[in-house]
Amino acid sequence: MSVRQLQLSAELALSDFTLKIDEEIALSGITALFGPSGSGKSTVLRILAGLEGRAAGRVVFEDTVWADSARNTFVPPHRRPVGLVFQDGRLFPHLSVIGNLRYAESRSPAEQRAIGFDQVVDALDLATLLERKPDGLSGGEKQRVALARTILSQPGLLLLDEPLSALDVRRKGELLPFIEKVPDVFDIPTIFVSHAVDEVARLADQAIILVDGKVSVRGELPELFQQLDMHGFTGNFEAGAVVEARVTGHDAEYKLTMLDLDGRKIQMPMVASLNMGDQVRLRIRARDVSLALSKPEDMSIRNCLPALIEEVRAEPNTAFAEVLVRIGQQALRARITRQSAVELKLEPGGEVFALVKSVSFDRRVLISARA
């Protein structure tokens, strides 16, 4: 997968705060730009696309200067090899689906047409929609067309501005697989804006967290989501850790899939589409993890993993404490009561068993054994 260097330093006064960013990012696969609503994420994409002419600063992609306010350099949006999929799709209502796609294709530089029309229609499953007008499409279909249209403009950098936020849960689930295969199939580095932690966990290879117009944390996934200070971004209920595991087999009788998490065995409801050896990403919510000092027998919870306590953080003025435990190279978070933490004498360095009640599988297969 190609790696592209992006240098972005920008300053722009917005209504509530000033966006101020100075980052050098090696873009590869999907980079999530993550943070609460109104933190300036979409504005960053607009600056990259050249739609915020007022922004001061410097944008350099690979070796090309896109903007440098100090030298009065500004490459207008239509001359930047960047594609932006807007939150609302912004399909042209006067053109059919095929008209929208051809609009983009015909304006891409002929010598750069590495991605074929049929290939995109195929990958995004648009064959049956081509003659339709955008008005007759569902929200998810619109976003698929918008994504296809942008890919057909042959961008060197793909920007997705919360393409899922206008969709309900089911449509979201339909669109996610299409988005996650873009970097692999078309080899376009992608920046994906989202305020939903589950989307980021599933799609992203690295994440940049933006709060009030400033970069707060930046790092690779899944490590980033294993840090306790992620708490503020994910909220108590959804907070959890993302871990990577390898599929070791299925139990057809009990409908279970067995996985290996850094030498520990875990199981989850069967996902038949996984093959032995597939590397997958799992999300385990802190509220689904309990801790025990000894290995409990006679218990319904099947996933019992020996772990080492790394950090205990009591939440002042609440009943709860969060405990970060290490399992091999990876980490899990457990949300327990403060009282339990005190009575069990949970301290960093202590050995415990992490009891995982349920595992949710982020459908992204990182390394497929079949491939």
Partner 1 sequence: MADLGPLWLTLKLASAATLVLLVIGAPLAWWLANTRSALKPVVEALTALPIVLPPTVIGFYLLILMSPNSALGGFWVSVTGTTLTFSFTGLLIASIFYSAPFMVQPLQSAFEAVGRGPLEAAATLRASPLDAFFTVAVPLSARGFLTASVLTFTHTIGEFGVVLMVGGNIPGETKVISIAIYEHVETLRYAEAHQLSAGLLIFSFAVLFLVYALNRRFPINVS
* 133 binds partner 1 per the rule CB under 8 A: yes
* 270 binds partner 1 per the rule CB under 8 A: no
Which residue, 62 or 223, has its beta carbon nearer to partner 1? 62
Q: Is 317 helix (H, G, I), strand (E, B) or coil?
A: coil
* 117 binds partner 1 per the rule CB under 8 A: no
**Binding string to partner 1 for residues 32 to 61, with x set by CB under 8 A, is what?**
-----------------xxx----------
Minimum gap (Å) between residue 192 Cβ and partner 1: 16
**Binding string to partner 1 for residues 229 to 268, with x set by CB under 8 A, is what?**
----------------------------------------
* 83 binds partner 1 per the rule CB under 8 A: yes
DSSP assignment of 3-32 equals: -EEEEEEEEEE-SSSEEEEEEEEEE-SEEE
Q: Is 350 helix (H, G, I), strand (E, B) or coil?
A: coil
DSSP state of 89: -
Minimum gap (Å) between residue 74 Cβ and partner 1: 13
Which residue, 10 or 82, has its beta carbon nearer to partner 1? 82
Contacting range for partner 1; rule: CB under 8 A; set: 81-89, 137-145, 180-188, 310-318:
81-89
Q: What is the dihedral of CA 161, 150, 123, 133, to 10 degrees?
A: 100
Q: Which two tokens stand for residue 151?
A: 């890919």
Which residue, 146 or 208, has its beta carbon nearer to partner 1? 146
Cα separation, 181 vs 189, in Å, equals: 11
Strands (E), 232-299: 240-251, 256-261, 264-269, 279-285, 289-292
Peptide bond into 222 cis (omega under 30): yes
Q: Residue 165 carries which side chain, given as an amino acid letter?
A: S
* 111 binds partner 1 per the rule CB under 8 A: no
Minimum gap (Å) between residue 146 Cβ and partner 1: 8
* 92 binds partner 1 per the rule CB under 8 A: yes
Is residue 219 a contact partner of residue 208, using CB atoms and an 8 Å limit?
no
* 66 binds partner 1 per the rule CB under 8 A: no
* 163 binds partner 1 per the rule CB under 8 A: no
Which residue, 149 or 202, has its beta carbon nearer to partner 1? 149
Binding residue (CB under 8 A) for partner 1 from 131, 135, 297, 343: 135
Cα separation, 353 vs 364, in Å, equals: 27
* 77 binds partner 1 per the rule CB under 8 A: yes
Is residue 28 a contact partner of residue 1, using CB atoms and an 8 Å limit?
yes
* 149 binds partner 1 per the rule CB under 8 A: yes
Which residue, 74 or 353, has its beta carbon nearer to partner 1? 74
* 108 binds partner 1 per the rule CB under 8 A: yes
List residues bridging with 330 in a β-sheet: 327
Q: Is 319 helix (H, G, I), strand (E, B) or coil?
A: coil
- Could you say which residues in the range 281-340 bind partner 1, by CB under 8 A? none
Q: Is 45 helix (H, G, I), strand (E, B) or coil?
A: helix
Cα separation, 282 vs 280, in Å, equals: 7
Q: Are strands 240-251 and 351-356 parallel, antiparallel or unpaired?
A: unpaired
* 145 binds partner 1 per the rule CB under 8 A: no
Q: Which residues bind partner 1 (CB under 8 A)?
A: 49-51, 76-79, 82-84, 86, 88, 90-94, 103-104, 107-108, 133, 135, 149-150, 153
